[in-house]
Amino acid sequence: MNQKKRIMNKRQKSIWVFGDYRNYYSNRVTLQLLSKAVDLARFISAEVCAIVFGHEIEEWIMEYTAHGADRIFAIDHPSLANYNTENYLAIIEKLVRQRDPDVILIGATDFGREFAPRLAKRLNTGISADCVGLDITEDGLLIQIAPSFGGNMLAEIVTENHRPQMATVRPGTFKEIPHNYERKAIVERLPLKDKLLKSRIRLIEYERATAKEHTIENATVIVCGGRGLSNKKNFRKLDELAKLLGGDVGATRPVVNAGWAAHQALVGQAGKQIKPKILFSFGISGAIQHTAGLGEAQFIIAVNKNQQAAMMKMADVAIVADASDLLGALIKELKKRIRG
C-alpha cells in the first residue's frame, strides 16, 4: 500500500485481528490475539478491530466485543458458512484496501497458515509466520518475534516499507483477557458483493474429524515424552499417567515422526505452545526447538538418565533415572494412593 498516501491522510490507526472461530472450544487464539492487540493499540492510540465472516455469527461478534474489540467488521451470509480460501481472500483484500489497517494479526492455526501468506502476497506486503512474541514502537512499527535458523534464534522482524504489517501468531503465545460483557463495540455489518465470490473451489462435503481434539494448549497438567522412552509401548504409558493426573500428553518431534504420537501432541517450535501448571518431561533432551514451546510452564519435573541434558537444567525437579522405569513406578504408586 502506498506509504505517501498514508502519511498525507491523518487517520485513525488500527490493529486488526482475524476472527478464526471454527475451533473455538479447543483453540482460543483469536481471543489471545485480541488481548495482545489491546495492549499494542493502547501504546499507539489505535483502534482494535475484529473481522468476522460467516453465517449466524452473532455469538462471535459478542465474544470479540467482550474480549477487547472496539470495532467489528461483520459479514453474515449463507455462502460464507463454510470456509473457502479464495472467497475469504477476495473479501478481506477488498476490505483492507478500503480501510487501510496498520497491522493484521492472524492465528497460526491450519486455517491461518493457509490464509495469511496468500493475503500478504495479494497486498504486496511482508508477513512473519508463527510468531512467538509481538511488540510495537511508538511510531507504530510492529516488532514480530519469530524463531529462525531452525529455531536456534529468535529474530525480531519489522516490515518497514509496506503496509499492512502482518503476522501469524502461535496459539498459546498470549493470555486472553477475561471477558467483559458490558463492553460495547461499533459493529459494521457489511454487505457481501456477489462478484467477489468467484472461487474455483466447490465444497462437496464437510466432515468433522472424529479423532479426539487435543486441547494441550489449555491443559494444566502435561506429561510429555521423548525418544528416551525407547518405544511406542513405553510412550503410550503416558496416557495412563495423564489420565491419573487429569492431564494431557505431549511429545517431541522424533516421537511424532516415529508414529508414537499424533502431530497434534507435538510441543515446540513446529508444534504447540503449552502453559501447564505442572509439566512432566520423560526422556527429553531439551533441544531449543522443543523448549521454545514451554515458555509458560510453571513447574517442570524432568526425568533423564543424563544429568547434563538441557531439559534437566531447566527443570525445577530433575530426576536421574530410566524414564520408562520411573514412569511405571509413578503410575503404580498413584494407583495405589487412589485406591487408598
Ligand X SMILES: Cc1cc2nc3c(=O)[nH]c(=O)nc-3n(C[C@H](O)[C@H](O)[C@H](O)COP(=O)(O)OP(=O)(O)OC[C@H]3O[C@@H](n4cnc5c(N)ncnc54)[C@H](O)[C@@H]3O)c2cc1C
DSSP helix/strand/coil, 160: coil
Ramachandran assignment for 249, one of left (phi > 0), alpha (psi -120 to 50 degrees), beta (any other): beta
As separate numbers, helices (DSSP H) first and strands (DSSP E) second, the chain gives 10, 15
Nearer to ligand X (CB atom), residue 87 or residue 304: 304
Size of the site for ligand X (CB under 6 A): 28
Question: Which position among 80, 269, 279, 330 is part of the footprint of ligand X (CB under 6 A)?
Answer: 269
Q: Which of 164, 226, 247, 276 binds ligand X (CB under 6 A)?
A: 226
Nearer to ligand X, 36 or 227 (CB): 227
Which residues lie below 8 Å from residue 188, measured CB to CB, with a gap of 6+?
A: 71, 72, 73, 74
126 lies in the site for ligand X, by CB under 6 A: no
Please name the residues in contact with 117: beta carbons below 8 A apart, sequence gap of 6 or more.
Answer: 127, 129
Show contacts with ligand X in window 163-182 (CB under 6 A): none
Closer CB to ligand X, 153 or 186, in the complex: 153
Choice from 59, 150, 233, 307 touching ligand X (CB under 6 A): 150
* 44 belongs to the binding site for ligand X (CB under 6 A): no
| Interior/surface letters 230-258, b for 16+ CB within 10 angstroms, e for the rest | eeeebbebbebbbebbebbbbbbbebbee
Tell me whether residue 163 or residue 227 sits nearer to ligand X (CB atom). Answer: 227
Cell 501447564 belongs to residue: 276
285 near ligand X, judged by CB under 6 A: yes
Closest to 245 measured CA to CA, from 227, 222, 216, 276: 222
Smallest gap, in angstroms, from Cβ of residue 312 to ligand X? 8
Among 54, 68, 107, 228, binds ligand X (CB under 6 A): 228
Q: Report residue 271 as a C-alpha cell.
A: 508444534
Q: 17, 88, 283, 327: which one contacts ligand X (CB under 6 A)?
A: 283
State which H helix or E strand residue 44 sits in: helix 29-44
Q: Are 209 and 299 in contact (CB under 8 A)?
A: no
Between 125 and 304, CB nearer to ligand X? 304
State the minimum distance, in angstroms, from the CB of residue 271 to ligand X: 4
Question: Which residues 290-329 are close enough to bind ligand X by CB under 6 A?
Answer: 290, 303-306, 309, 322-323
Q: How far is the CB of 132 from ligand X (least distance, A)?
A: 11
- Name the one range near ligand X by CB under 6 A: 24-32, 110-118, 129-137, 265-273: 265-273
Give residue 246's Cα distance to chain centre.
Answer: 23
Interface with ligand X includes 284 (CB under 6 A)? Answer: yes
Q: Tell the smallest beta-carbon distance from residue 302 to ligand X (Å).
A: 9
Residue from 54, 52, 76 nearest 62 by CA: 52
- Is residue 270 within the footprint of ligand X (CB under 6 A)? yes
Q: Which of 36, 163, 170, 253 binds ligand X (CB under 6 A)?
A: 253
**Mode of pairing for the β-strands spanning 127-131 and 133-136:** unpaired
Using the CB atoms, write b or e for 71-84: b if 16+ within 10 Å. Answer: bbbbbbbeebeebb
**72/274 with CB nearer ligand X:** 274
What the block records as the C-alpha cell of 292 is 521454545
Q: Which of 227, 241, 273, 274 binds ligand X (CB under 6 A)?
A: 227
Interface residues with ligand X (CB under 6 A) are: 150-151, 226-228, 252-255, 266-271, 283-285, 287, 289-290, 303-306, 309, 322-323
